[in-house]
Amino acid sequence: MSILYVLIPLALLLLGGAVWVFFWAVSSGQFDDLDTPAVRIIMDDDSKPDDSER
């Protein structure tokens, strides 16, 4: 069971990383629009590849 003393802190480190990444994503505006992406997927566009900026 002593492996838990290693694995749990490791899990917490990963958790911290995930939270940090999410905070960064929210602050950079990626979650500002929570409505369009849900419908955007059904509007496949053949004219030009999706602009991946922002």
Per CB under 8 A, residues contacting other proteins are 1, 4-5, 8-9, 11-12, 15, 18-19, 22-23, 26-27, 31-36, 39, 42-43, 45, 47-48, 51, 53-54
CB of 7 to other proteins, least distance (A): 11
Q: CB atoms < 10 A from the CB of 11, how many?
A: 11
Residue 44 sits at φ, ψ, to 5 deg, of -65, 135
CB of 1 to other proteins, least distance (A): 6
**DSSP class of 49:** P
